[in-house]
Chain A
Amino acid sequence: MTTSQRNITASDAGGGAVHAIQGTLIQGAVTTAIAVPLGILTAIYLVEYGRGPLARGISFMVDVLSGVPSIVAALFVYAVWVTTFGFQRVGFAVCLALVLLMIPVVVRSTEEMLKLVPNDLREGALALGIPRWVTITRVVLPTALSGIVTGVLLGLARVMGETAPLLILGPYTKSISTNLFSGYMPTLPTMINQDRTELGLATAVERMWATALTLILLVLLLNLCGRLVARKARV
């Protein structure tokens, strides 16, 4: 938990996973920070305002996006980020690919939750002379909050365990690296993959399973946090 794998070869025991945990958390946080506002705003547009061809088009694109295999999303970002713009493979590129994967989950779950909010409440608020967007932000969203949080966490859980974009865009390194914009960035999935390539060595096998457990516990912890937040919000 406190040390990295720096200067530890595959046949050595010991070393920690702090570099990979940090990488996964940072990428997860940045991905969430980009995908959640986009996703929630899109869902609000679709449920509360969207009519006609534009809304249908957006809804269709979200459907398409949710069906995109993660490795294709990664290749798309690779094509834009590395091939077109000529940037390096860095942590932020990974985040962009993960954003593509997370947005449809957030949009769809938020949409469902907003649809569950009874129309009576919207009408009740509008009839008090409350403008539409205030009705949405102060009445509709709080009512749907716990469901939205759950949706975001589901999306985040999917994204944190995602490996393909990491392999393509964010190769593993054994050292701590918290810079999203330069150099490789280690993460838990890529660390697992690294040890998998050394399966002949007992130490690597043990390390691989330990890392896998860490990843699962991390996702579980996030889910529990989310449940607590949701419960608090509901009162």
Chain B
Amino acid sequence: MATKVSMNGVSIYYGGFKAVDGVSMEIQPRTVTAFIGPSGCGKSTVLRSLNRMHEVVRGGRVEGEIQLDGVNLYAPEVDPVAVRRTVGMVFQRPNPFPTMSILDNVVAGLRLNGVKDKATLTARAEASLRAANLWEEVKDRLDKPGAGLSGGQQQRLCIARAIAVEPQVLLMDEPCSALDPISTLAIEDLISELKREYTIVIVTHNMQQAARVSDRTAFFNLKATGQPGRLVEYDSTHTIFNTPAERATEDYISGRFG
């Protein structure tokens, strides 16, 4: 299921503006990789480039190569829609579809891509909700609207929705920043379980969170305001938080700036 992601000299532009400059890194399967760095340093942009979501913003384009198990995501014959089925994403704010029930939300990715068989959908919904640690809480009200859940439950619903299409890689863009500590803990536990099956990349502003959940950490920074963001250091989380090679990394994680 899980695959390796490798980036080679990736620069990302929005129109004429270069947002990220020359990122090269390898993300190992079945690990959690955390992207940390100050606001505007391009970590979310890099994350979005991994499933071509940055193209949704007008003028977004990528130079360099991003490969998923050796397949170039940006080859001309590759359909961005297919990429997004392989590389799922969870967003900062929980965004369940307001017109759909809990069940319909979970299977939205399947149903709207043409899966009609009821038994398949129900089975997949239960499996995904169980995997997202939400099944026990919602099994009696699957036909109720998804928007009626609490914030933390909604976010786990969104995770269930993302894994229901069986992606290889799961991207999370600050998945806990809109949640309270208890819900955050629930999501972090969930991340640790999910990494057995998925390659997970998480963007976070919370350094304790990066230290808690991730195996490897990438630190992004800007050279100066208005300059493109770049990858400063990428190593095991233990190394980044204890003996970083770069001065900037040490300053950032020890709270001296950012």
Contact indicator per residue, chain A 51-89, by CB within 8 Å of chain B (1) or not (0) = 100000000000000000000000000000000000000
Q: Check B84 for interface membership: any CB of A closer than 8 A.
A: yes
Give complex CA distance A130, B107 in Å. Answer: 12
A134-147 CB contact bits vs B (8 Å, 1 = yes)?
11001100110100
Task: Find out whether the CB atom of A143 lies under 8 angstroms from the CB atom of B99.
Answer: yes
Tally B residues with Cβ within 8 Å of A.
27
Q: How many residues of A contact B (CB 8 A)?
A: 25
Contact A128 B108 (CB under 8 A): yes
Q: Are A129 and B82 in contact (CB-based, < 8 A)? A: yes
Contact B51 A131 (CB under 8 A): no
Write the nearest CB–CB distance from B124 to chain A, whole angstroms. 13
Chain A, Cβ-Cβ closest to B161: A128
Binding site for B on A (CB under 8 A): 51, 118, 120-132, 134-135, 138-139, 142-143, 145, 233-235
- A120, B91: Cβ atoms under 8 Å? yes
Instruction: Kindly report which residue of chain A lies nearest to residue B158, judged by CB atoms.
Output: A124
> B53, A128: Cβ atoms under 8 Å?
no
B residues 20-66 with Cβ under 8 Å of A?
A: 51, 53, 56, 58
Across the interface, which residues of B come within 8 angstroms of A233, CB to CB?
Answer: 99
A53–B165 Cα gap in the complex (Å)?
A: 38
A129, B112: Cα distance in complex, Å: 9
> Does B176 have its Cβ within 8 Å of any Cβ on chain A?
no
Could you jot down 10 A-B contacts, CB within 8 Å?
A: A51-B58, A121-B97, A123-B53, A127-B88, A128-B85, A128-B162, A129-B109, A129-B113, A145-B99, A235-B145
Nearest Cβ distance between residue B213 and chain A, in whole angstroms?
Answer: 21
Question: Which 9 A-B pairs have CB atoms at the shortest separation, nearest pair first?
Answer: A129-B85, A128-B109, A127-B89, A120-B95, A142-B99, A129-B84, A124-B95, A130-B112, A134-B112
Interface residues in B177-222 by Cβ distance below 8 A to A read none
Looking at the complex, which one of A51, A120, A123, A125 makes contact with B108 (CB distance below 8 Å)? A125
Known pairs A122-B56, A130-B112, A143-B98 / 13 extra A-B pairs, C-beta < 8 Å: A123-B95, A124-B158, A127-B51, A127-B84, A127-B162, A128-B162, A129-B81, A129-B82, A129-B84, A129-B86, A135-B112, A139-B99, A143-B99
